């Protein structure tokens, strides 16, 4: 299944995505902006990940491909809780300016959220963002996401403890903006 919104298509990871994913996993600029951390990853380890990873009940990882045919990064739905209908969203983008299209990451995120809410049946999507990742905070305002609080000094990066911004979006809030025909629609339970 492909997920399309605006200029972005979200699709499963393929072998052709190796170079993009390998460069992103080892990119120090991306590492500085994400919550987690990575060990340095070899080509062998990245190939093993790609061979063994399967989208499933706990996690969905998708490549962002634009209408110009360029793959620019990936998005994910993680920590899927089927009982409580919650999950986290995340993304990494790394592409030369000339490969990008204005609003591409926004369109990809809207497509991901629509899939999570209206196909998987999630009720709440939430995220954690480093306090100095202003791009991610700005992106969250397009959804709309509401800031719920700050987790103080939770992430250690470059010798400094950083705060995390906690934000979330509810299905009805998302649908009110992007899928008004679904507002108030009865949620059908999935047996995932």
Task: Provide the number of structural domains found in the chain.
Answer: 1
- 48 in helix, strand or coil? helix
191 falls within a domain? no
Domain that holds residue 123: 3-182
192 falls within a domain? no
Beta strand ranges found along 82-139 (DSSP E): 86-93, 124-130
Q: What is the DSSP letter of 60?
A: E
Q: What is the CATH number of the domain that holds 176?
A: 3.40.630.30
Spatial distance between the Cα atoms of 73 and 91, rounded to a whole number of angstroms: 7
| Cβ-based neighbour number of residue 38 at 10 Å | 12
The H-or-E segment that residue 165 falls in is strand 160-170
What global pTM score does this model have? 0.91
Backbone region of residue 41 per phi and psi (left: phi > 0; alpha: psi in -120 to 50; beta: other values): beta
15 falls within a domain? yes
188 falls within a domain? no
> Which band of pLDDT confidence, cut at 50, 70 and 90, is reported for residue 192?
low
190 falls within a domain? no
173 falls within a domain? yes
Measured between alpha carbons, how far apart are the two ends of the chain, in Å? Answer: 17
Give the pLDDT confidence of 3-19 residue by residue, as tens digits. 999 999 999 999 999 99
Give the pLDDT confidence of 50-93 residue by residue, as tens digits. 999 999 999 999 999 999 999 999 999 999 999 999 999 999 99
Contact by Cβ (8 Å): 93, 129: no
């Amino acid at each position: 299944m492909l997920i399309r919104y605006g200029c972005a298509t979200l699709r499963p990871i393929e072998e052709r995505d190796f170079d993009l994913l390998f460069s992103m996993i080892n990119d120090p600029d991306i590492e500085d902006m994400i919550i987690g951390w990575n060990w340095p990853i070899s080509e062998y380890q990245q190939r093993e990940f790609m061979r063994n990873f399967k989208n499933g009940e706990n996690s969905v990882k998708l490549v962002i491909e634009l209408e110009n045919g360029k793959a620019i990064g990936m998005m994910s739905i993680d920590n899927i809780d089927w009982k409580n209908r919650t999950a986290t969203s995340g993304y990494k983008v790394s592409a030369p300016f000339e490969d990008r299209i204005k609003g591409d990451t926004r369109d990809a995120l809207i497509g991901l959220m629509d899939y999570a809410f209206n196909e998987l049946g999630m009720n709440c999507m939430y995220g954690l963002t480093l306090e100095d990742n202003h791009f991610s905070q700005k992106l969250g305002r397009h959804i709309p996401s509401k800031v719920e609080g700050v987790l103080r000094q939770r992430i250690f990066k470059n010798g400094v403890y950083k705060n995390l911004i906690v934000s979330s979006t509810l299905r009805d809030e998302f649908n009110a903006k992007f899928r008004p025909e679904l507002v108030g629609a009865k949620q059908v339970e999935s047996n995932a």
